[in-house]
C-alpha cells in the first residue's frame, strides 16, 4: 500500500498544473494533501470525484487559508476533523482516518514565522497534539503532513544561518524530539541518512534550482508499525508547489 503526502500550496492553483495527471500516475492507495486553501465547495468537481477514491476534507473558518484533504481507495471506518480542542480545530488543519489496521493523521502543522503569537500557537498546537496521541498508544499510528519544522541540521541546507528562524528554533525541534521519545519513527531517516534531501524550497529566492531547501514534510509512525514499512521516499522531481510529495510503502 502506498501513501503519499504533499503540501500543494492551493488546490485551485495546482489543479491548473496537471495535478490530476500526477494523481493518476502516482496511483497511490491514499493521497493526503495540505494547504488546500479551499473549502469543499471550492474544489473542482473532477478533483473531488476521482474514480475509485473516497474523498474527505477539512477547511478553516478563514477563507483561502490552510485546509487538508485525503483521497483513499480504502473506505475508513471513521473520519474526524478534530483533535477535540476548538482553538486548534478551527483552522482546518486536521484529518484523522481510522482504518481497520491503523490510524492515519493528515496534519498541516502551523507556521510560526509570522509573529510571536503564531509561534506560540504553533508550539501549543504541537504540545496539545503530542499529548492527544496518548489516546492511541496501543494503536498503529501514521502521522503525515507538513510539520513546518526541520528536525536536525542535516534537514536543511543552511542550519547555522537559520538557528533563530522559525522552523529550526531549538524549542520547535524539541517538539519533534518528544515524538521520538514517545516511540515515533521518522520513516525517511529510518531508510536514508544522507544530506541534501529536502521537501520545501523558497519560491522567492529560486532555491529549488540550487537545492537550498528544508525537509519539513514527514511520515512519522508508531514503533509497532515499523515492521510494516517497506520504504519511504522524497519525490523531489515532482513540481507544482514549493513543496514536493513524500511517500511510504507499507504492507
pLDDT digits (tens, 9 = 90+) for 119-154: 999 999 999 999 999 999 999 999 999 999 999 999
Which helix (H) or strand (E) segment holds residue 19: the answer is helix 19-26
Q: List, in order of start, the domains of the chain with CATH numbers.
A: 2-250 (3.60.10.10)
What confidence tier does 220 reach under pLDDT thresholds 50, 70, 90? Answer: very high
pLDDT at 217: 99
Nearest to 105 by CA among 44, 151, 65, 147: 147
pLDDT at 46: 96
Catalytic-residue membership of 146: yes
Residues 6 or more apart whose CB falls under 8 angstroms from that of 78 comprise: 97, 98
pLDDT at 90: 94
DSSP 103-172: EEEEEEPPP--S-HHHHHHHHHHHHHHHHHGGGGTTS-EEEEEE-----SGGGBS-TGGGTTSTTS-HHH
From start to end of the chain, where are the E strands?
Answer: 2-7, 30-34, 54-58, 68-72, 78-80, 94-98, 103-108, 141-146, 184-186, 200-201, 213-214, 217-222, 229-234, 246-250
| Residue tagged active-site, from 146, 186, 217, 233 | 146
Q: What is the mean pLDDT of residues 70-92?
A: 97
Contact in structure between 112 and 172 (CB atoms under 8 Å):
yes
pLDDT at 170: 97
pLDDT at 162: 97
Contact in structure between 219 and 3 (CB atoms under 8 Å):
yes
pLDDT at 98: 98
Query: 217, exposed or middle or buried, with CB in 10 Å at 0-12, 13-18, 19+?
Result: buried
pLDDT at 142: 98
Q: What is the mean pLDDT of residues 43-53?
A: 97
| 201 to 31, 143, 239: CA distances (angstroms) | 21, 22, 11
Burial 5-36 (b: 16+ CB within 10 A, else e): bbbbbbbbebbeeebeebbeebebbbbbbbbb
Amino acid at each position: 500500500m502506498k501513501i503519499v503526502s504533499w503540501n500543494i500550496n492551493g488546490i485551485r492553483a495546482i489543479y491548473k498544473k496537471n495535478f490530476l495527471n500526477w494523481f493518476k500516475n502516482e496511483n497511490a492507495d491514499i493521497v493526503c494533501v495540505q494547504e488546500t486553501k479551499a473549502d469543499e465547495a471550492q474544489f473542482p468537481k473532477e478533483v473531488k470525484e476521482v474514480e475509485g477514491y473516497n474523498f474527505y476534507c477539512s477547511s478553516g473558518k478563514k477563507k483561502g487559508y490552510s485546509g487538508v484533504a485525503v483521497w483513499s481507495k480504502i473506505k475508513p471506518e471513521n473520519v474526524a476533523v478534530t483533535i477535540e480542542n476548538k482553538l486548534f480545530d478551527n483552522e482546518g488543519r486536521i484529518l484523522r482516518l481510522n482504518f481497520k489496521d491503523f490510524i492515519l493523521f493528515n496534519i498541516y502543522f502551523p507556521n510560526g514565522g509570522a509573529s510571536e503569537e503564531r509561534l506560540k500557537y504553533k508550539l501549543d498546537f504541537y504540545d496539545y497534539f503530542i499529548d492527544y496521541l496518548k489516546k492511541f498508544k496501543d494503536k498503529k499510528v501514521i502521522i503525515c503532513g507538513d510539520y513546518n519544522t526541520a528536525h536536525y541540521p542535516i534537514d536543511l541546507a543552511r542550519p547555522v544561518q537559520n538557528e533563530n528562524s522559525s522552523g529550526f528554533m531549538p524549542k520547535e525541534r524539541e517538539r519533534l524530539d518528544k515524538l521520538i521519545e514517545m516511540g515515533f519513527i521518522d520513516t525517511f531517516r529510518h531508510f536514508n541518512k544522507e544530506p541534501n534531501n529536502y521537501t520545501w524550497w523558497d519560491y522567492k529566492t529560486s532555491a529549488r534550482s540550487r537545492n537550498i531547501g528544508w525537509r519539513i514534510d514527514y511520515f512519522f509512525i508508531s514503533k509497532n508499525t515499523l515492521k510494516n514499512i517497506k520504504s519511504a521516499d522524497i519525490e523531489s522531481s515532482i513540481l507544482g508547489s514549493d513543496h514536493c510529495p513524500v511517500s511510504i510503502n507499507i504492507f
